[in-house]
Amino acid sequence: MNKIKIAFFVSNLGQGGAERQLVELIKSIDKNVFDVHFYLYAYQKETFYKEIFEIKNILIIKNKLKYENYLLKIIEALWYLKLATKRNDYDLIFTTLFMNNLFLRISSPNRYRNKVIANSRNSIKLYSKIHLFTEKILIKNSNLVFNSKDALEDFKTVINKKFHNKLHVIYNGFHIENSFRVGIKSKDLVTIGGLGRLCMQKNFSQLVRVFQLLNNEGILNNKIDLILQGNNGDESKKINNLINENATGISLKKSNPNINNFFNDINIMVLPSHFEGCPNVLFEAMIRKRICVISNGANSDDFVIDGQSGFIYDGSDEGLLKSLKSAISIIGTKKEKEIINNAFNYASKNFGMEVMVNKYEELFKNIYEKNKSSN
């Protein structure tokens, strides 16, 4: 049997859940079945996930853009993608994140009709009218993979029914057997953690505000800390201003590929995001047996059951304060063990790396066979 020739395209590998999942997929996909090419088509700065260069039996192609002007960079990137797909005869091409999805689909030649697979990590609620219009047009000749059922069902409401068979759900995957072997944080100090880019969607400014309220109430004799770790974003200035007003017990740390160090330092993981598809940090926390507190918006597919596998709040400051108090109150008790074990068992069963990779391989094979039979 000839190998299925598949090319993965992203502009660059910065820090992020989509990039992390892409690296894991490329690392784990069966190289006896798939001939893998990986394109960094707009390689502008150092790659965050350097391990991509250590993966065996794949071909990596890097393209550094020459122009500084934003419009010229876009034209240059589109032209490069057009040439790369024209000069090579791939059975399938795959990409992730909206701009990559858009660029690859509008630049690839007609012979790639129904051979493009794009991974979408956004809810329809986050799409502008023009973005949604392009998805309606481009779905005719491509496939979209969502990482939550909620996001897929939302798209079905705006996409023509005859294209629903091009919409798929595959949850993110994690290395369960290695990740959970993290040390247990000391119960003498309760440390709350937030992990991710300091941007509006992640909503960490709310966590800072509520942490200050928590500290002001003097719970556990003020033995409470907060750690925020991640790259700067559009909320960095706001968060820094909040911290400067009352910096007691709050630490800001830069992103680090070794997230075990972060989880070793916390008891409670908070996801205050306005929206998440399949939130990587939630499952990273679950498999490391940390208590999780999550907003309704981030809990898109009911990943957490309130009081059984974590704590859910309604998105308000008051709701987060109440959930944090509940989480703190069970630390060191039988209830804490029950909740973190429930969460760990759920994540292990549904979000293992092997589960994700197998589903992608099955999808790739099905699309390949369908294209072959139609030709």
**Is 344 among the domain residues?**
yes
Residue 18: the pLDDT is 87
**Is 113 among the domain residues?**
yes
Q: 59: domain range?
A: 4-173+352-370
Three-state SS for 310? strand
Number of domain units in the chain: 2
Kindly state whether residues 51 and 116 are assigned to the same domain. Answer: yes
Residue 71: the pLDDT is 93
Residue 218: the pLDDT is 63
Give CA–CA dist 346/299, Å, rounded. Answer: 14
Residue type, 263: F
Residues, the chain: 375
Kindly state whether residues 8 and 132 are assigned to the same domain. Answer: yes
353 and 28 Cβ atoms separated by less than 8 Å: yes
Residue 272: the pLDDT is 97
Q: Of 2, 7, 22, 1, which is closest to residue 89 (Cα–Cα)?
A: 7
> Which residues does the chain have with pLDDT short of 70?
1, 122-123, 177-188, 218-222, 246-247, 375
Kindly state whether residues 46 and 161 are assigned to the same domain. Answer: yes
**Is 375 among the domain residues?**
no
Kindly state whether residues 180 and 281 are assigned to the same domain. Answer: yes
Residue 215: the pLDDT is 81
Kindly state whether residues 93 and 181 are assigned to the same domain. Answer: no
105 and 118 Cβ atoms separated by less than 8 Å: yes
DSSP state of 124: G
Kindly state whether residues 121 and 146 are assigned to the same domain. Answer: yes
Give CA–CA dist 1/150, Å, rounded. Answer: 37
Give CA–CA dist 98/120, Å, rounded. Answer: 7
Kindly state whether residues 226 and 257 are assigned to the same domain. Answer: yes
Kindly state whether residues 209 and 157 are assigned to the same domain. Answer: no
**Is 282 among the domain residues?**
yes
Three-state SS for 149? helix
Three-state SS for 192? strand
CATH number of the domain residue 12 falls in: 3.40.50.2000
Give CA–CA dist 368/4, Å, rounded. Answer: 8
Cα–Cα distances (Å) from 194 to 5, 49, 157, 161, 334, in that order, read 40, 21, 33, 39, 25
Residue 82: the pLDDT is 97
Kindly state whether residues 137 and 284 are assigned to the same domain. Answer: no
* Structure token pair of residue 85: 């797909």
256 and 245 Cβ atoms separated by less than 8 Å: no
